[in-house]
Chains A and B, each alone.
Chain A
Amino acid sequence: MQRIGVFVCHCGSNIAATVDVKKVVELVRMEPGVVWAEDYPYMCSEAGQSRIAEAIRTQKLTGVVVCSCSPRMHEATFRKCAERSGLNPYMVEIANIREHCSWIHKNTEEATEKAVILARAAIAKVNLNTPLQAGESRVTKRALVIGGGIAGIQTALDIADAGYEVDIVEKTPSIGGRMSQLDKTFPTLDCSACILTPKMVEASANEKITLYTYSEVEKVSGFVGDFTVDIRKKARSVDMSKCTGCGVCQEKCPSRKTPNEFNRGLNTRSAIYTPFAQAIPNVPVIDREHCIKFQTGKCGVCAKVCQAGAIDYEQKDEIITRKYGAIVVATGFDMIKLDKYGEYAYEQSPDVITSLELERIMNAAGPTKGHLERMSDHRPPKNIVFIQCVGSRCADERGKSYCSKICCMYTAKHAMLIRDKYPDVNVTVFYIDVRTPGKNFDEFYRRAVEEYHVNYIKGQVGKVTPQPDGTLLVHGVDLLDNHQVKIEADMVVLAAAIEPNPDVRKIATMLTASIDTNNFLTEAHPKLRPVESPTAGIFLSGVCQGPKDIPETVSQAGAAAVKVIGLLAKDKLLTNPCTAKADVLACNGCSACANVCPYGAISYEDQEVRAPGVREIRRVAVVNSALCQGCGACTVACPSGAMDLQGFSNRQMIAEVDAICR
């Protein structure tokens, strides 16, 4: 029989306001196995913990139940407390009477009754708990960063700086990401490329960093400290060791009609290309889908003109398998597709563009060499209308419910830059709210309004109608004046919502990292563990976790790096002891468990089994506890119940069910 102590936390008034904690203490005392029960205002405080420690010692407790907040919050705290007091940490169970009780129920009687039942379930479980010992697993001292944008680059640089090897896998031919497409950055207006390129060069030059560009993660197995990852290096068709980056191939390439992704399709590129001038590595790739040689077999111009002999049409995709201790996701974002927003005429008129397209137009290396002009007739616009929140803060399913966060600021930036360079252009901005929390942000926005006289109209645009004369009639509402507005514009810029890179779903699945309904990766805790995924060993950097601007991205990237470094600095990790275990006497050796194990943790051995009336060699299941992650799939596949999960055993679960249904 266990000697169980029950500790009921008030959590200030968080619990005590709706749960009669004294009554809980009084009632749980009657439960079998309970020899001690008390309440305290803050169990997680030092004083609270020392009460638990004291009771463990004086009452010779063999089990502890803490009725408090979610185990996701303080289970570790109380387990450590027990361990310090000489009690096996796995003899502690938490009854969640805050999140699952006091915070959601208003009626004290009901909440108290429920708290008692939850406590009883935890007590029933502890009665069947057994001390468990954590095992150890090794840590591969190498990190993988998925995505080579500013988030990925910064994370990699910081990890490398601490002396650990780090690989960046980037899907496109060059690192740089979205930031490389930007012209200027708010609120300082410094040139994006000017601040990004040195970082790119630094990453490429750092001997601890290996870049896998034009590559994708194909398969991930293993667990924290010991991931095994297959990386597909897509065939570049150019030998990286030979190419000098002279660019002749791109000049001579006869296939020139491929939409240029880097310029958001505003112009075209050759089939052999580097995305942009400062690309790293500065080695082109052949886009086989548009290459004449690959499509028809006739051409081969690039091979002929390449002095270095770097063109290799025979190159094949290559799979590289590497081991990593930690993985950082930095897959970034893209703008949403605007096909559902027909009212803005984005697909009808080339003069309705997105903000990112405007960035390219404004950029000296862009399709217009930095001249502000209409894509339809290359005439400079006279009236530009910016429409905010296209797909952001959207109530219907066409768009996103969240605020994309960066649009208010970059629109102010665009408006200001245009008015600065082309003072005779009228700029109007339709907005729902202007959101400018951030250092020097509101000052920046006010300059746009006050200094540059940008016309901000609070209201939404109902429709953009292309006129026969090539202008665009913008129908809007001015909510402050409460009247309809019609503006004859010759360029409309849409601040389209941003969304996580669509590839992230696939990657999240491979990593078994959870994502939310908007495809943003979920943090281990929204406030306290914002750069970690709930899946151990997986970290988050940049917009894959939620909308953010560059400085936020960079700081989060640094934070992720610190977490990775903290992990890689360890030689061994303690493994979760809540793993599956087979009872050889009851095992049929049927393989059902191994068939459902996602980790390949179960193998079979011929063992001699001895029991009364039995002495024979049997095929029995053996669990590798280093590989087992404790999901429990095997326990249900096993018909005889021979396979059980430590810490969540069949009898423990049944005891909880019984306690709740009593």
Chain B
Amino acid sequence: MYKIEKQNLTALFRKIAEGRDLYLPVESAGQVNFAAWDEEAKVSLDTTKTVKSPKDAFFPQSETLYTCKKEGKKLEVTQEALREKGFVVFGMKACDVRGVEVLDRVFLSEPVDSYYQARREHGVLVALACKEPEESCFCTAFGIDAANPVGADAEKPAGDHTMNQTGADVAVWDIADWLYWKPLTEKGEALTESVRGLLTEAGEEEVLAEQSRIRAVLKRLPYADLSLEGWGGDATKEKFDSPLWETLYRPCLGCGTCTFVCPTCQCYDIKDYRTKDGIQRYRCWDSCMYSDFTLMSAGNNRTTQLQRFRQRFMHKLVYYPANNDGLFSCTGCGRCVEKCPSSLNIVKVIKAFAKEGGARNE
């Protein structure tokens, strides 16, 4: 365990950014999102929830896959270079770390997504404990400990760069005037070594005290008792056929806010952009809420908003766990709770079903 005085954070960031990219919560035009650090950046570590999750660092909203260039009738295809420069994502929350774990299971299982894999290999996750959990948070429902943002599989042996490399590389705590710093993995150790000069050794006591303070706050959150009973991979038919969707979806505007702020939504579309002398094939986030989601030449397999709405929650709470050892594709970050223009969200859906099924919610 190490610590650094918060007034020295700029020096820390400067040091980290030497030869690497550093992404962290930065305020721009009134909103806090993960962005590249520079000397002018208005870093905001106090923000519990950035608007977008940090998943951009590994799975950007839009990225070029390859470029086709035409000369005469000759076609030249150039693959976009994979990430080679190291980078650090600083200030992810426990829920965001879980988000990466969810993405890993999609992108790092066969066939491996090489673009994502390259980013994961070169990225170092520095996770920050939640000083001030908010009323929209419900990470506890998914077994996440916001007070100890280490990630589920932090104990896995280092050096295994595929499925096992989940969890944060460094965990940090913001306590009074100090930032406590604990390397968790080999990558975390390496990062720690490179900034070692700025850190001082510290004991665990303050961190343990802070953790119990945070856990007390987590216990009194309005959604602290949210139960996922009845959800999971086995619930497909029962949940799919429920008449509840009929009323639940109605205020849904069909916008993509929930999916774009979500740390786990992983759907993308691949499109071509015509350039001067060819095309650029890129992928960009897609949203299952959109009417042209998975549109095929024969039409769309989900033609109504009800079907699209159902898809999102069925995927998060039923289909994904069915294929991933029961892991839910929701981290309880609560971004959708705060941002849905119609005040709909996954919690309301879970509760509506619980009420129906007589579970202990509500």
* Contact A662-B276, Cβ < 8 Å, known A612-B303, A613-B303, A614-B303: yes
Q: Which residues of A contact B72 (CB under 8 A)?
A: 30
Q: Are B299 and A658 in contact (CB under 8 A)?
A: no
* Contact A613-B274, Cβ < 8 Å, known A30-B72, A30-B73: no
Q: Which residues of A contact B300 (CB under 8 A)?
A: 612-613
Q: Are A612 and B274 in contact (CB under 8 A)?
A: no
The B296-313 residues at the A interface (CB cut-off 8 A) are 299-300, 303-304
* Contact A612-B73, Cβ < 8 Å, known A658-B274, A662-B276: no
Q: Bound state CA distance, A30 and B277, in angstroms? A: 11
Could you tell me how many residues of chain B have their Cβ less than 8 Å away from some Cβ of chain A? Answer: 9
Q: Would you give the 0/1 interface string for A599-640, flagging 1 where the beta carbon is closer than 8 Å to chain B?
A: 000000000000011100000000000000000000000000
Q: Bound state CA distance, A614 and B303, in angstroms? A: 8
CB distance from A447 to the nearest CB of B (A): 72
Q: Bound state CA distance, A658 and B273, in angstroms? A: 12
Q: A658: nearest residue on chain B (CB-CB)?
A: B274
CB distance from A618 to the nearest CB of B (A): 16
Q: Which residues of A contact B303 (CB under 8 A)?
A: 612-614
Q: Bound state CA distance, A658 and B299, in angstroms? A: 28
Q: Which residues of B contact A662 (CB under 8 A)?
A: 276-277
Q: Are B304 and A613 in contact (CB under 8 A)?
A: yes
Q: A614: nearest residue on chain B (CB-CB)?
A: B303
Q: Are A612 and B276 in contact (CB under 8 A)?
A: no
Q: Bound state CA distance, A284 and B73, in angstroms? A: 81
CB distance from A431 to the nearest CB of B (A): 62
CB distance from B73 to the nearest CB of A (A): 6
Q: B72: nearest residue on chain A (CB-CB)?
A: A30
Q: Would you give the 0/1 interface string for B32-55, flagging 1 where the beta carbon is closer than 8 Å to chain A?
A: 000000000000000000000000
CB distance from A586 to the nearest CB of B (A): 12
Q: Bound state CA distance, A248 and B79, in angstroms? A: 101
CB distance from A123 to the nearest CB of B (A): 14
Q: Would you give the 0/1 interface string for A398-427, flagging 1 where the beta carbon is closer than 8 Å to chain B?
A: 000000000000000000000000000000
The B280-301 residues at the A interface (CB cut-off 8 A) are 299-300
Q: Which residues of B contact A613 (CB under 8 A)?
A: 300, 303-304
Q: Bound state CA distance, A30 and B70, in angstroms? A: 10
Q: Which residues of B contact A614 (CB under 8 A)?
A: 303
Q: Would you give the 0/1 interface string for A643-660, flagging 1 where the beta carbon is closer than 8 Å to chain B?
A: 000000000000000100
Q: B303: nearest residue on chain A (CB-CB)?
A: A613
Q: Would you give the 0/1 interface string for A3-33, flagging 1 where the beta carbon is closer than 8 Å to chain B?
A: 0000000000000000000000000001000
Q: Which residues of B contact A658 (CB under 8 A)?
A: 274
Q: Which residues of A contact B277 (CB under 8 A)?
A: 662
Q: Bound state CA distance, A614 and B300, in angstroms? A: 12
Q: Which residues of B contact A612 (CB under 8 A)?
A: 299-300, 303
Q: Bound state CA distance, A416 and B327, in angstroms? A: 112
Q: Would you give the 0/1 interface string for B261-288, flagging 1 where the beta carbon is closer than 8 Å to chain A?
A: 0000000000000101100000000000
Q: B305: nearest residue on chain A (CB-CB)?
A: A613
Q: B304: nearest residue on chain A (CB-CB)?
A: A613
Q: Bound state CA distance, A612 and B301, in angstroms? A: 9
Q: Which residues of B contact A30 (CB under 8 A)?
A: 72-73
CB distance from B311 to the nearest CB of A (A): 14
Q: Bound state CA distance, A662 and B276, in angstroms? A: 5
Q: Bound state CA distance, A658 and B276, in angstroms? A: 9
Q: Bound state CA distance, A612 and B72, in angstroms? A: 42
Q: B300: nearest residue on chain A (CB-CB)?
A: A612
CB distance from A616 to the nearest CB of B (A): 12
CB distance from B328 to the nearest CB of A (A): 29
Q: B275: nearest residue on chain A (CB-CB)?
A: A662
Q: Bound state CA distance, A614 and B72, in angstroms? A: 45
CB distance from B295 to the nearest CB of A (A): 10
Q: Bound state CA distance, A613 and B274, in angstroms? A: 32
The A507-541 residues at the B interface (CB cut-off 8 A) are none
Q: A655: nearest residue on chain B (CB-CB)?
A: B274
Q: Which residues of A contact B299 (CB under 8 A)?
A: 612
CB distance from B275 to the nearest CB of A (A): 9
Q: Which residues of A contact B276 (CB under 8 A)?
A: 662
Q: Bound state CA distance, A30 and B74, in angstroms? A: 9
CB distance from A27 to the nearest CB of B (A): 9
Q: Which residues of A contact B274 (CB under 8 A)?
A: 658
CB distance from B298 to the nearest CB of A (A): 9
Q: Would you give the 0/1 interface string for B161-200, flagging 1 where the beta carbon is closer than 8 Å to chain A?
A: 0000000000000000000000000000000000000000
CB distance from B303 to the nearest CB of A (A): 3
Known: A613-B303, A614-B303, A658-B274. 6 other contacts (CB 8 A): A30-B72, A612-B299, A613-B300, A613-B304, A662-B276, A662-B277
Binding site for B on A (CB under 8 A): 30, 612-614, 658, 662
- What would 12 A/B residue contacts be, using CB atoms closer than 8 Å? A30-B72, A30-B73, A612-B299, A612-B300, A612-B303, A613-B300, A613-B303, A613-B304, A614-B303, A658-B274, A662-B276, A662-B277
Ranked nearest first, the 3 interchain pairs of A and B with the lowest CB-CB distance are A613-B303, A612-B303, A612-B299
